[in-house]
Structure 1
Amino acid sequence: MSDNKTGVIYVVSDSLGETGELVAKAGKIQFSSIREIKKFPFVLEYEQIDEIIEEASQHNSIIIYTLAVPEMKEYMNNAASKYNIKAIDVLGPVIHTLRDITGQEPLYEAGLNRRLDANYFKKVEAIEFAVKYDDGKDPRGIKKADVVLVGVSRTSKTPLSMYLANKNLRVANIPLVPEVDAPKELFEISNKKIIGLTNNPDKLNGIRKERLKALGLDYTVANYASLERIMLELQYADDLFRKLRCPVINVSHKAIEETANIILSIIRKEDLL
């Protein structure tokens, strides 16, 4: 744990996390050195706890959690103690007291205060997954994903990821740059899960020019929008797609919905849904 006295409060819940967040805010307001509250809702897997603990260990932090299932509570406490992180079970004392005075065992079921169907939970998880593993932020997402989108800049990777996430698919997307080796994880998964995205050079040239204009940059001197640079990137992408032997979609004249439907058709054909 960092020696930095500036603190971070991690709120972990198997539901929306509203209760834990309210408690965290009430505590935070009393301490000017607490810089941030980070909330992690719908934590239903041990792997999610591991990832949160790993991040929290890099800061001067505490964890406030509302987990209903006893095994998840125990796992949280054990994982946090390994890193000397204080983990506070907000509802535990209340549940134990109610059990004592009623003589009744609690149900120990997650999210009873907001009974939501499995489809909703899956969609929320997919959207959070798409955000977490957007733009190659963490190559570990490649092996966890249902679909991996690969392509050069401005081939609609991010909007496609979010659209497919709303179809309950966990999507990671990887940007391709000739100067950077493609993640080795791409060669360690089935190529049936990989979709290559490409675009026509002239179309890409126009999109990138507009992007630079929007950022207030001079596209006439920026290498990013030059046709020479674009041709280099597209050739690099084509070479990689051949190595991966993955399907490739040209998005130049397609709406996001149309491209997404093609992707859905491909993965259904491969029995990945």
Structure 2
Amino acid sequence: MPKEELLISSNSTKVPVIYVLSDSIGETGEAVVKAAASQFDHGLVDIRRAPYLKTIREVEKALTDASEVGAAIVYTLVHQDLKSFLERTAREYGLIHADIMGPVMNALQSVTHISPKNEPGLIRKLDETYFSKVEAIEFAVKYDDGKEPHGVLRADIVVTGISRTSKTPLCMYLAHKGIKAANVPLVPEVNPPEELFKVARKVVGLTIKPSHLFEIRKERLKTMGLSQTDDYANWERILMELDYAASIMRKIGCPVVDVTNRAVEETAAKVLDFYRKGAKKNE
């Protein structure tokens, strides 16, 4: 069992022992013991974790070990049968025992009127969701705007379209849902990367009405302090880019979403719908 010693005040030379019993990893119980121990000065406390307790036999073994060294018990068991056995046996052994999760769960149940799941390890699952989201955001940044085209091979979704069709905001929105999204710009003078055709089933194209794009690009040039006559906001140029993008999307065979007057959330809902349908098709 993992052991850790912490400073704590004591009138005797004997080091007090705290056993942390858990049906998960035991980090919550250990963190609480450390927080409590920080309120004392000098001396030592010996923390011993007994994690992943799944059976009554395992709980009994941990209590026996604790009894042999006169330890106090701190526990975060959520399985009711194991918890009841622990409390009953600890009383029989005369062991001091403190339930960390129980009182808080009871309070939450009282205010929410919802029964707890009593499933060990859920906090780690939440952490995994958080880290998955962070990883997806880092992915979207790394493979934004066609940077490192090989990245599209690792993407969950690949977004393609011409400039100012909201490719980057869409990818960032998807990343916050834990989806790794890369985007590839389509420019008539530059051949799209061959990787784009290799992942055709993951690709979603974005298009937009030319009049709307014309206004967006004019506003963009104004913001940047550039000439309004720049090719970027040229009507013929916009029509040519849209035709070129449409031809590439037809070649890929990907679904296309018109982003005209759509919020990013609306576009994302459409893209996710295509993504899920594609995932089912390939199961």
Pair 1:247 & 2:255 matched: yes
In structure 1, distance between residues paired with 2:140 and 2:203? 15
After superposition, where does 1:184-199 map in structure 2 within 5 Å?
Answer: 184-189=194-199, 191-199=200-208
Give the SS at the match of 2:160: strand
Q: Which amino acid aligns with 2:165?
A: T
Cα RMSD of the aligned pairs, angstroms, is 2.0
C-alpha deviations, 1:122-173, integer Å up to 9, x for none? 0000000000000011101110000000000000000000000001000000
What amino acid is the match of 1:243? K
Once residues 193 and 258 of structure 2 are traced to their aligned partners in structure 1, the CA distance between those partners, rounded to angstroms, is: 22
Give the aligned partner of residue 276 of structure 2: 268
TM-score (norm 2): 0.54
- Residue 211 of structure 2 corresponds to 202
Alpha-carbon distance, 1:188 to partner: 1.4
Question: Is the aligned partner of 1:256 residue 2:264?
Answer: yes
Aligned twin of 1:237: 245
Counterparts of 2:248 and 2:149 in 1: how far apart (Å)? 17
Give the C-alpha shift of residue 253 in structure 1.
Answer: 1.9
State the 1:268 CA deviation. Answer: 1.1
Q: What is the CA–CA distance in structure 2 between the aligned matches of 1:187 and 1:153, rounded to whole Å?
A: 20
Report the TM-score, using the length of structure 1 for normalisation. Answer: 0.56
Structure 1's consecutive aligned runs of 4 or more residues displaced over 4 angstroms after TM superposition are none
Displacement after TM superposition at 1:192 (Å): 2.0
CA distance in 2, matches of 1:255, 1:208: 17
Structure 2 counterparts to residues 1-273 of structure 1, below 5 A: 117-189=127-199, 191-219=200-228, 221-271=229-279
Q: What secondary structure, in the 3-state scheme, does the structure 2 residue paired with 1:153 have?
A: coil
Look up the SS of the partner of 2:247 in the other structure: helix
CA distance in structure 1 between the aligned counterparts of 2:279 and 2:145, rounded to whole angstroms: 26
Alpha-carbon distance in structure 2 between the residues aligned to 1:133 and 1:271: 22
Q: Aligned with 2:149: secondary structure? A: coil
Q: Partners of 1:243 and 1:140 in 2: how far apart?
A: 19
Counterpart residue identity of residue 195, structure 2: E
5+ residue gaps, structure 2: 1-45, 52-122
Aligned residues: 161
Residue 271 of structure 1: how far off its partner (Å): 2.0
Letter of the 1:209 counterpart: K
Q: How far apart are the structure 1 equivalents of 2:173 and 2:257?
A: 16
Gaps of 5+ in 1: 1-101, 108-113
Q: Which has the larger radius of gyration?
A: 2
- 2:272 partner amino acid: L
3-state SS of paired residue (1:270): helix
Aligned AA (2:175)? A
- The CA distance in 2 between the partners of 1:143 and 1:270, in whole Å, is 16
